[in-house]
Structure 1
């Protein structure tokens, strides 16, 4: 099996649109949440979200790319461009069929769908829809547009597994490179779910926070008074590469990806298994594939969305997986970024990679009183970032439908 390394990173997030800005805000415990500005929320119970700040697509996209793509694809193109540039990939020096794109998107063009259908109903289209309606809507266009932008002609497709989506993309990219099917893969995920339909739909499920009077503290994983997740948006891009290829071209190596796994709860449409059986198995399989025992893991970035049921179920899974919790530090970066659905795993994998680079674990913010159901021996990093050795970092992402996905990185 080939070794797989990380050689490039790119991000568009509620905490910043560069890797350095994103990381600085994470370790400083900055909240990305605020009142929604995209649409009038008078009719909505949830009026807050983690929106992007000062997103300027024209920095990396041309006019046609912006005109012909939904926001989720714009975010993907932006983050992918930063990652490709960061990795120093020169297509003129590569076989284009050796470079692929495996990209994760959970919902796709929700904003496009809403605006097109609304215009049709109002009679603005009589009777035709925009010719760009379907290309802007479908989830695979992000992967396709990235390949077109850079001329990457290798494997190219989109993964969809709800909020486990980006980790699924990472796992597939990892395995294709290990098997020698590609030298380089642009992977990650993007999502643009701050729309009326998306916010309204998740609100109907009673899954979202309604702490509208204080948005900055609304995302509070593990807190006794948590009342649901906060929607986020953006993209994370990671360049995974065959180790030998990376060394041959003199690429900088940020970390090594050494394991990934997926399981299913086979339990409920929207709720995780309360005992975390499937999630625990995903973590165990990932550790086994990475060749490390549970006691060696330093940092686990939890899925931890700030829902009453989900947080405890995941910690039950952690307790099943790690008999000795004394040296394992836990964190929930969603307390700052909100939940980016299909993109969540990507930006959280980036946080995990950066933790190994800097020996620094971002905090979990907004926890005023820990849920008493949480075992006292669990080391959750609260309020302030923790400086400690991070040789291995793991990241969880779980999704509606019972999808459990876990990825594992090793310090370069």
Structure 2
């Protein structure tokens, strides 16, 4: 950590709603067991789509939050509220006294935002006229709605910020929270990412740009749980997922003063841009390499202490190889000693929610000293020289570091380094 920013930042709360579970315990148990949440889409609108599978949320948010309140929120905000409420309670803050709301911030990201609200109201405008468009359409569809929803729910008055960096958004929210805490602008920041983009337009658009896997689509397409296969020679694109992840970050001083449980420390973060292509990663991974280097440099991390990586690894042909190059560029020969996993093999790709969900998995891996597996890796691409866990794998004892990588369209790169406690 730089000498000018001596504050230690810790993780005290976790929240999740995902394709494999409606909360942290069920999601973590499913990840360790290697259970996929990818399913066939049963909606009528999916029948003519080129891709008919997705990682739909395991639990509908309306089963958790009040239905009347839910009707005033886009699905992205519903997911954010579920994850943030769980993380808040898990941190022991639901019943905490004396927390200054002006020292409480929110950084909650979304890559696409309230697209389903936008499209539904556009349909209403065409079919029923302008008077039938919802007066809540704008506050529901705006990209900062999830952050605003969480801020209103918790009474957070320090700030409510919304990083929008495609698939790196959720991880960038954690980087932003880390910065705000180190700058002394808050004592607690609720950080997360959310996405709800399972809609025919989004699926058709991603499919037509050859980003989604078309395996197992159609009525006789096979087993959808085997489709997301990072680093496998048979990978042909990602699987769209939905949900949210959330972490509560605090200064260590604040956490210790209230006797909070500490899961992990946040050592550093790196944010860079490729300036290479609007959709394709730099094939040499130079932007991502700089992000990882910055994260470990900011945290004064000895690369030899990195024991685990939750990789971005979406199951795309180019992206998976580029990330392997990044890890070798940063860690050198130690790269093959690190246990690497891609939880997207089970959850699919949550876009703006991916980095936050995977941050929760990274923190839990450190806390429990075990890495979740990567499923569906039957034939590892020889171009990827990494030690990829195909079963849950124990991590070393002692002081270790884990990396959470996220890379997005537009060349956005974010890496966050977490440390054990």
TM above 0.5: yes
Name the counterpart of 1:189: 193
2:120 corresponds to 1:115: yes
Superposed, which structure 2 residues align to 1:89-168 within 5 Å? Answer: 89=93, 90=95, 92-122=97-127, 124-168=128-172
Give the secondary structure class of the aligned counterpart of 1:80: helix
Give the secondary structure class of the aligned counterpart of 1:303: coil
Q: TM-score, normalised by structure 2?
A: 0.94
Could you tell which deviates more after superposition, 264-273 or 206-215? 206-215
Q: Distance in 2 between matches of 1:187 and 1:302?
A: 19
Give the secondary structure class of the aligned counterpart of 2:138: helix
Show CA shifts across 1:372-409 (max 9, x none). Answer: 2223xx21112x11112162110100000001100011
Show CA shifts across 1:295-330 (max 9, x none). Answer: 210001110000011111111111211112242111
Task: Answer whether contact 2:61 2:78 (CA < 8 A) is retained.
Answer: no
Give the secondary structure class of the aligned counterpart of 2:82: helix
Q: 2:83 aligns with which of 72, 79, 89?
A: 79
Distance 1:359 1:91, change over 3 A: closer
Name the counterpart of 1:208: 212
Give the secondary structure class of the aligned counterpart of 1:159: coil
Task: Answer whether contact 1:38 1:194 (CA < 8 A) is retained.
Answer: no
Q: Distance in 2 between matches of 1:304 and 1:238?
A: 21
In the comparison of the two structures, how many residue pairs are matched? 407
Name the counterpart of 1:9: 14
Q: Distance in 2 between matches of 1:387 and 1:402?
A: 33
Task: Answer whether contact 1:65 1:74 (CA < 8 A) is retained.
Answer: no
Q: 1:311 aligns with which of 317, 320, 338?
A: 320
Show CA shifts across 1:124-177 (max 9, x none). Answer: 234452101111101101111111112111111111000000111100100110
Task: Answer whether contact 1:295 1:328 (CA < 8 A) is retained.
Answer: no
Q: Distance in 1 between matches of 2:96 and 2:29?
A: 31
Name the counterpart of 1:343: 353
Q: TM-score, normalised by structure 1?
A: 0.96
Name the counterpart of 1:380: 388
Q: 1:327 aligns with which of 337, 355, 370?
A: 337
Name the counterpart of 1:352: 362
Could you tell which deviates more after superposition, 338-347 or 86-95? 86-95
CA RMSD of aligned residues (A): 1.3
Displacement of 1:62 in angstroms is 2.8
Q: Distance in 2 between matches of 1:231 and 1:101?
A: 26
Q: Distance in 2 between matches of 1:388 and 1:236?
A: 23
Displacement of 1:58 in angstroms is 4.5
Q: Distance in 2 between matches of 1:88 and 1:161?
A: 30
Q: Distance in 2 between matches of 1:293 and 1:180?
A: 26
